[in-house]
Amino acid sequence: MTNKYKYFVANWKMYGNKKSVNSLKKVIKFSKMSKFKTAKIVYCPPYTILGDFIKKFKNTNIKVGAQDCHFIDGEGPYTGFVSSKMIKQIGSQYVIIGHSEQRKSGDTDIKINKKILSSINNNLNVIFCIGENLKQKKKNLTKKILSYQIKKGLNKVKNFNKIFVAYEPVWSIGSGKIQSEKELFKNIESIRLILKNIKNRHQFKILYGGSVNDKNINLLSKIKNIDGFLIGGASQKPNKFIDIIKKSYI
């Protein structure tokens, strides 16, 4: 893996409004600088401003994704939901699936698997989130949990080119805590091994997420088996987001 092809996915969660679109100008300008042209930037705002982001990033290299989708492929009587087909139709190229905040509000591994299958069917790139919670970590169950989530989530998946696995330890999200370089490297290696057993010889892209910021990025970007980052809080501030990209682009 080369440092020059890192992915930087901004997950805006339930933040942002029409006005926030203006803050993207800086990032667009930055993304055009020749030195950083190969950085792959993806923004995942809430559904309400997905269309605005798509419009804003037209004719740029920056891509847009949704933060979730329904597991039914297409349309149907599902009040309050949005399908992968709709996300694709509006012009998104990515979708986050299985985020721990969605798992907390009812996403099961079976639902996640259906969401992944429908998203691939609609030609979306899937950012498939996995990760252990604190209790599981303390019980030394991390590897087992990761393996379980990967196997269930990727069941029946055939097109692995569209899959990005995002390792987000639940206890690290929004807490300011990250694991040691050594531990993170080891966990990513475990994920690679689990994936290898599912699809030998496929070069999976693995992202890391959980309290990534402009301070710890120096350390995180040294971990050579990570292909990019899924960034929450720090991605909403253009200066911080740009700083993260710059610092990991040595």
Catalytic residues: 99, 168
Contacting residue, 123, 174, 177, 222, with ligand 13P by CB under 6 A:
174
Q: Which is nearer to ligand 13P, 150 or 170 (CB)?
A: 170
Pick the stretch among 56-64, 114-122, 168-176, 187-195 that binds ligand 13P (CB under 6 A). Answer: 168-176
Which CB atom, from 85 or from 131, has the smaller least distance to ligand 13P?
131
- Distance CA(70)–CA(149), nearest Å, equals 19
Q: Is 231 in the site for ligand 13P (CB under 6 A)?
A: yes
Q: Angle CA(183)–CA(188)–CA(193) in degrees, nearest 5? A: 125
Shortest distance in whole angstroms from residue 175 CB to ligand 13P: 7
Decide if residue 168 touches ligand 13P (CB under 6 A): yes
Asked if 221 is part of the footprint of ligand 13P (rule: CB under 6 A), the reply reads: no
Q: Which stretch binds ligand 13P (CB under 6 A): 33-41, 57-65, 87-95, 227-235?
A: 227-235
User: How remote is the C-alpha of 56 from its chain's centroid?
Assistant: 21
Work out whether 173 is an interface residue with ligand 13P (CB under 6 A): yes
User: Tokens 């985020």, residue?
Assistant: 99
Residue nearer to ligand 13P on the CB measure, 73 or 245: 245
Regarding 210 and contact with ligand 13P (CB under 6 A), the answer is yes
178 is a site residue for ligand 13P (CB under 6 A): no
Judged by CB under 6 A, how many residues of this single chain contact ligand 13P? Answer: 14
Q: Which stretch binds ligand 13P (CB under 6 A): 54-62, 135-143, 166-174, 180-188?
A: 166-174
Q: Which region among 20-28, 85-93, 110-118, 230-238 touches ligand 13P (by CB under 6 A)?
A: 230-238
238 sits near ligand 13P (criterion: CB under 6 A): no
DSSP the chain: --GGG-EEEEE-TT---GGGGGGHHHHHHHHTSGGGTT-EEEEE--GGGHHHHHHHTTTSS-EEEES--BSSSS--S-TT--BHHHHHHHT--EEEES-HHHHHTT--HHHHHHHHHHHHHTT-EEEEEE---HHHHHTT-HHHHHHHHHHHHTTT---GGGEEEEE--GGGTTTS----HHHHHHHHHHHHHHHHHHSTT---EEEEESS--TTTHHHHTT-TT--EEEESGGGGSHHHHHHHHHHT--
Taking residues 117 to 146 in sequence order and writing x for each that binds ligand 13P by CB under 6 A, - otherwise, the string is ------------------------------
Residues 16-75 that bind ligand 13P (CB under 6 A): none
Separation of alpha carbons 86 and 89, rounded Å: 5
Instruction: Give the footprint of ligand 13P on this chain (CB under 6 A).
Output: 11, 99, 168, 173-174, 209-212, 230-234
